[in-house]
Amino acid sequence: MFRLDPILRTARRSPLLLVLLAALLVAPGCGSEDGGGGGNATADAGGQDGAGAADGTAAADGVSGDGGSGGAGDAGSSDATAGDAADGPAVYPIGVTTIEIVGASGRKLPVEIWYPAKPAPGSQAAKYAGGLASSPFGAVRDTAPEVPPSAKGWPLVVFSHGNGGIREQSVFLTEWLARNGFVVASPEHVGNSIFTMDESLTAVMPLWRPLDVKATVDHLAAGPSGKDPAFLQGLADTDSYAMMGHSFGGFTTLAISGFKVRVPPQFKLDCSSVEAPKALCDEIADMGPQPWDLHDPRCKVGVPLAPAGYGWQMLEKLEGDEKLPPLFIMGATGDKLTPSATEQTPVFEDLPGVGALLLITGSNHYVFSDICALEKVLPASFKAQLGDMCSPNTQPPLAEVHAEVADRALAAARYWLLDDKSAEQALTAPAKAWFTLQTKGFGN
């Protein structure tokens, strides 16, 4: 059998998992309460009008609380109406729906889809994570989409959650992208999500996760089926897409972008042992010799957030002749789960082509999702891992970090997926005091 690495063990014993499960079981009324589990964790922040809370990956990726200009109230009263950006691209109200697809190995995967929507005055903002948290930008469930700008549909982003996470873990980002004219699809990697975690599948997840992403895009390309809403027909341009993800989702982003994948030695999967999981070993054997090439040529840009895998040897070291899409990598220098020195900086240094590396000074692994929305119900043992990240006095303010992350990710999608050269300024804007930025192959 295999031995779980430290991040996977952390996720399995995370107090957050117990908190979420308990909250869903014993607090059925919290979905109707303002704040849903941490309204104070969000605030207005520059370009984002308030960007949700913080992150939570390896120890279970978080969810967004109330906040932002859309907030949790009247979604139709949001200032996000098409064409209201005086000096930039239009912004839109947001719709959100949930569908089910067939992922790797026949698993049924729920997929959250955010999209530009028509105004829906008087509508209530969507709730996430079983009602624990509310949409930061006033997204409305199953509301009518806005007409796409072309017959091919809205540009597409796929987001992959972290180990032990959920598909709504980074709503500050996924809603922001939809508000700015993208369809965002976020599959839940069943067997590796907070409510479905199965350690017996750990060794096969590096294989299944990229296949789940491809299955998501294929499903959208094929058009609505089963219980899918009819408005999905032609909603997204599936000929090309931007790939984004956090932690294990960052690994997934790199795999989709062209990094070759293998079962890492830490898992110690010995398929010759009588104790080895036969079905899992058979599936790995069917893939042929490692490392595996799981890239998707439809992926035109990758934005991995605190990606894992390069230092753990889940990803094969680059040889220098790979043809990869542009990669805008982000990390945090205080991250102890996927340290920037071993997991992000070497990826950037080894890139043979175009790329960027943004490192947030001092922040931790959780800064890329919305865990602070649940701060009020987190046990002290888990709060200790967050440090002062959720404090209103933390510097830089969390909402400002989220705004920066979301704006750079949006600029990367516009610049490389849509060939929008006007996005270069936002993509390469000078670093602030609390982060560093390096680029290669573009900009100055």
Write down the pTM of the prediction: 0.84
Element housing 256 (H / E): helix 248-257
CA distances from 113 to 56, 57, 136, 268 (A): 20, 20, 15, 36
Q: Which distant-in-sequence residues (6+ apart) come within 8 Å of 382 by Cβ?
A: 14, 15, 16, 19, 59
- Average pLDDT score over residue span 131-156: 94
21/190 Cα distance (integer angstroms): 16
Average pLDDT, rounded, for the chain: 82
Question: Rounded to an integer, what distance in angstroms lies between the CA atom of residue 183 and that of residue 238?
Answer: 10
pLDDT score of 40: 29
Quote the CA–CA distance of 173 and 370 in Å, as a whole number.
10
- Sequence spans of domains, the chain: 6-440
**154-160 and 183-187 beta bridge pairing:** parallel
CATH class of the 6-440 domain in this structure: alpha beta
Closest among 112, 135, 126, 165 to 50, alpha carbons compared: 135
Q: Is 258 helix (H, G, I), strand (E, B) or coil?
A: coil
Q: How far apart are the first and last CA of the chain?
A: 50
Half-sphere exposure at residue 256, Cβ-oriented, CA atoms within 13 angstroms: 36
Tokens 């590396």 label which residue? Answer: 357
d(CA 212, CA 253): 12
What band does 444 get if pLDDT is binned at 50, 70 and 90? Answer: low
Percent of the chain with pLDDT over 70: 80
User: E-strand spans in 21-148?
Assistant: 94-102, 108-116, 127-128, 133-134, 140-141
How far from the centroid of its chain's Cα atoms is residue 256's Cα?
14
Summarize pLDDT for 40-67 with one digit per residue, the tens. 223 333 345 433 333 333 334 444 433 3
Asked, as a colleague might, if the bond just before 291 is cis with ω within 30 of 0, I would say: yes
Q: For residue 78, is pLDDT > 50?
A: no
Closest CA to 317 of 292, 295, 347, 345: 347
Contact 75, 123 (CB under 8 A): yes
Lowest model confidence (mean pLDDT) among 122-131, 149-158, 411-420: 122-131
Per-residue confidence (pLDDT) for residue 323, from 0 to 100: 92
For residue 436, give the nearest of 365, 358, 362, 368 by alpha carbon: 358
The token duo for 186 is: 């976020």
Whole-angstrom distance, CA of residue 18 vs CA of residue 123: 32
Please check the confidence at residue 238 and state whether its pLDDT lies above 70.
yes
CA-nearest of 30, 54, 202, 204 to 130 is 30
Sheet holding 355-360: strands in order across? 140-141, 94-102, 108-116, 183-187, 154-160, 236-246, 299-305, 327-332, 355-360, 435-440
Average pLDDT over residues 97-107: 97
pLDDT in tens, 406-438: 999 999 999 999 999 999 999 999 989 999 999
Q: What whole-number distance in Å separates Cα of residue 11 and Cα of residue 197?
A: 9
Quote the CA–CA distance of 369 and 25 in Å, as a whole number: 23
Mean predicted confidence (pLDDT) in 90-103: 96
Structure tokens at 170: 């980074």
Cβ atoms of residues 241 and 317 within 8 Å: no
Of 214, 215, 193, nearest to 202 (Cα)? 193
Lowest mean pLDDT among 5-9, 238-242, 298-302: 5-9
Site of tokens 């804007």: 429
Of 175, 165, 178, 252, nearest to 215 by C-alpha is: 252
pLDDT of residue 194: 86
CA 94 – CA 76 distance, rounded (Å):
10
For residue 234, pLDDT over 60 is answered with yes
Residue 90 predicted with pLDDT over 90: no
Q: Is the pLDDT of residue 80 over 70?
A: no
Sign of the dihedral defined by the CA atoms of residues 79, 82, 87, 88, in that order: positive
* Amino acid (one-letter) located at 130: G
